[in-house]
Amino acid sequence: MAVRNKYDVDETLETPFSFKHFKRAVVYAKRHTKKMILAMSASMVSALSSMVYPLILQRAFDVVIPSKDYAQLAILTVVTVLTILLSIAMTTIRSRIMTRVGQDIIYDMRKDLFDHLQKLPFSFYDSRPHGKILTRVIHYVNNVSDMLSNGIINFIMDIFNLIFIAIFMFFVNVELSLIILAGVPVFLLVIMIIKPAQRRVWQKVSNKGSNMNAYLQESLDGVKITQLFTREEQNAEIFDKLNMAYFNLWNKAQRISNCVWITVDNVTTWVVSAMYIVGVLVMQPAVSFGTIAAVSNYAWRFWQPLLNLSNLYNTFINGIAYLERIFEMIDEPVDIDNAPDATELPKIEGRVTFEDVTFAYEPPRNVLEHVSFDVKPGESIALVGPTGAGKSTIVNLISRFYDLTGGRILIDGHDISKVTLHSLRSQMGIMLQDSFIFSGTVLDNIKYAKLDATDEEVRRACRTVCADEFIQEMEKGYLTEVNERGSRLSQGQRQLISFARTLLADPKILILDEATSSIDAKTERMAQTALNELLKGRTSFIIAHRLSTIKNCDKIMYVSNKGISECGSHDELIAKKGDYYKLYTAQRTGNLGQL
């Protein structure tokens, strides 16, 4: 089977130039208008001072040297040195200011992006490779910032340079200048044919880079599984293809770019040579040697702004495409957002009511249909049922990680879609199936949900879930650095830490989704005893495949067929001899060790 995955899919980077995006992006640059004007003024002084140099050259050749006026020659030399120094100083000033402005723009844009990314719903992340998001935040923002800062200034400066160089050149000699202009048609050819090709190939390079990034990111995340299934060779092949695609395009892009330079250099050489031939052989002595030297000097510079402008055009075309991708992310609706008239959920007691709830991740394939139940404050509910039945979905809905397709969920009678997310989620403790550990110390991780918790509070939470002992045994105790994703901890230890983290937040509603699946039975029993105490006064939803864990819950709901097929206490459900009974007896007979 041919390898076909999300990493082969290129982003659209060739879009018509749209002022809409540009205007929107300029807001980021506008904050730095004063600095940019200052930088541009410096650039203009630098450009003007460098334009004086050929005039000095002309005077030196034509007047000063032939008349052996050494005093004036010395003055001209000093003036030349001063103009060069002035030009260097001004360029340095501009570069300093603009580096700062560019970085400021990058900072602001990344901040906006990150703020927004954090709010985007689970569904956004479910559907795209994370590596591509990274590319947008890092690579695209860099590019766009350059367009907004240096791009705008260069655009103005290049037009300025072009006009002034032409004026100075024509001022020195009109006929010779016209010969230089003979190169324009060739130059237009470059701009109209080679440059667009160059732009397109660089866009492809950028796309292939992004694809490689996305694959690399996933491969690093899954490296253990790769090694486990000895998939290294196949993965290397996939990577090789992506890498090769990048390599080939990059080389092609370089060749085309070189082609531009070679052509431009050639054009300049030809027209300047032609100008010399005509100037020296035909027009002399009507034109002086100094004039020829001065025009030649301007001619070498004349193409640069033109070339820059066509480069800029490319930068802008690319930049706009990048902007479109960036704004696409910023505009990605925060589906799960506070309703316009959202109210604060007051301190809750913990009643949870599902009213005819229907939900689909990808409509129309409903995962839940017409689910209704009512959980009283303080009740503990166990959700059991086959894999993929919708247990995690139910608890994700209570925290409003997804919005419903139909029906309502009420907490203490408040519709959760009508209260602020913060007031809702801050009163819930959720431990998801895969407990995520951030890089940092054990303490940082436990305090994640409650930054102002005291060390004693942290320890109490850890003791409750039997995590204190193993944490103390680590080389620096609570201050031990756990690597990214907690890779230096065992799965069970990770679960215990995130357990403590959840408890510390002291939520009214506690959700444990397979929270103890990796903890050994003995530790779990110990934690369970403490937990039973802790669950008092809190509404809790516990999902566990190990039924021993949930036997004592007030109510057990059996989730299957897009809804809750059985509901009651352990004894009731056993007496009913339905699905729960079957599951329970199967576990008892097949897996006695765990019960």
Ligand X SMILES: Nc1ncnc2c1ncn2[C@@H]1O[C@H](COP(=O)(O)OP(=O)(O)OP(=O)(O)O)[C@@H](O)[C@H]1O
Q: Cβ 350 to ligand X, closest distance in Å?
A: 22
Quote the CA–CA distance of 113 and 516 in Å, as a whole number.
Answer: 35
Query: Least distance to Mg ion from the beta carbon of 466, Å?
Result: 24
Stretch that binds ligand X, among 71-79, 236-244, 387-395, 435-443 (CB under 6 A): 387-395
Binding span for ligand X by CB under 6 A among 14-22, 266-274, 383-391, 481-489: 383-391
Taking the complex as a whole, the smallest distance from the CB of residue 392 to Mg ion amounts, in Å, to: 3
Candidates 49, 83, 268, 392; binder of ligand X (CB under 6 A) is: 392
- Give 318 or 396: the residue with its C-beta nearer to ligand X: 396
DSSP string, 63-78: IITTTT-HHHHHHHHH
Q: Which CB atom, from 310 or from 392, has the smaller least distance to Mg ion?
A: 392
- Alpha-carbon span 151 to 130, nearest angstrom: 29
| Binding piece for Mg ion, criterion CB under 5 A, among 154-162, 165-173, 233-241, 391-399 | 391-399
Radius of gyration of the chain (CA): 35
Q: Is 366 helix (H, G, I), strand (E, B) or coil?
A: strand
Which of 109, 212, 367, 510 binds ligand X (CB under 6 A)? It is: 367
CB atoms within 10 A of CB 142: 15
Q: Does 469 bind ligand X (CB under 6 A)?
A: no
Instruction: Please give the backbone phi and psi of residue 314, each rounded to the nearest 5 degrees, phi first.
Output: -65, -45
Tell me whether residue 344 or residue 434 sits nearer to ligand X (CB atom).
Answer: 434
Q: Which is nearer to Mg ion, 393 or 427 (CB)?
A: 393
Instruction: Scan residues 343-362 and list those touching ligand X (CB under 6 A).
Output: 361-362
- Enter the tokens of residue 201: 């190939």
**Tokens describing residue 91:** 């360029």
d(CA 453, CA 501): 11
Among positions 49, 145, 177, 392, the unique one binding Mg ion when judged by CB under 5 A:
392
* Spatial contact of 465 and 530, defined as CB atoms under 8 Å apart: yes
Q: C-alpha 244: how far from its chain's center?
A: 24
- Enumerate the β-bridge partners of residue 381: 541, 555
The minimum distance between CB 402 and ligand X, in angstroms, equals 8
CB of 371 to ligand X, least distance (A): 12
Nearer to ligand X, 96 or 128 (CB): 128
Backbone φ and ψ of 582, nearest 5°: -65, -45
Q: What is the DSSP letter of 8?
A: G
- Pairing type for strands 509-513 and 539-543 reads parallel
Let me know how many helices (H) and strands (E) the chain has, helices first: 22, 12
> Closest distance between ligand X and the C-beta of residue 126, in Å?
4
Q: Which is nearer to Mg ion, 149 or 392 (CB)?
A: 392
* Cα 554 to the center of its chain, rounded Å: 45
Give the orientation angle of helix 19-30 with respect to helix 289-331, to 10 degrees.
100
* Nearest residue (CB) to Mg ion, 145 versus 392: 392
- Please give the structure tokens belonging to residue 509: 């509603």
* Structure tokens that stand for 7 in this block: 């990493």
How many residues sit in the footprint of Mg ion (CB under 5 A)? Answer: 1
Q: SS3 for 270-291, per residue?
A: HHHHHHHHHHHHHHCCCCCHHH
Residue 137: CB atoms within 10 Å: 17
Q: Considering the rule CB under 6 A, would residue 390 count as an interface residue with ligand X?
A: yes
In the bound state with ligand X, the residue whose beta carbon lies nearer, of 136 and 546, is: 546
Report the amino acid identity of residue 270. Answer: W
| CB of residue 11 to ligand X, shortest distance in Å | 22
Q: Which is nearer to ligand X, 303 or 359 (CB)?
A: 359
User: Considering the complex, what minimum distance in angstroms separates the CB of residue 394 from Mg ion?
Assistant: 9
Q: Which helix (H) or strand (E) holds 547?
A: none
Distance (Å, whole) CA 188 – CA 310: 10
Q: Which stretch binds ligand X (CB under 6 A): 25-33, 206-214, 384-392, 529-537?
A: 384-392
Closest approach of Mg ion to the CB of residue 431, in Å: 12
CB of 393 to ligand X, least distance (A): 3
For ligand X (CB under 6 A), the number of binding residues is: 12
Which residues, 122 to 161, sit near ligand X by CB under 6 A?
126
**Taking contact as CB under 6 A, which single stretch among the options 142-150, 322-330, 389-397, 458-466 is the one that binds ligand X?**
389-397
Contacts with ligand X by CB under 6 A lie at 126, 361-362, 367, 387-393, 433
Contacts with Mg ion by CB under 5 A lie at 392
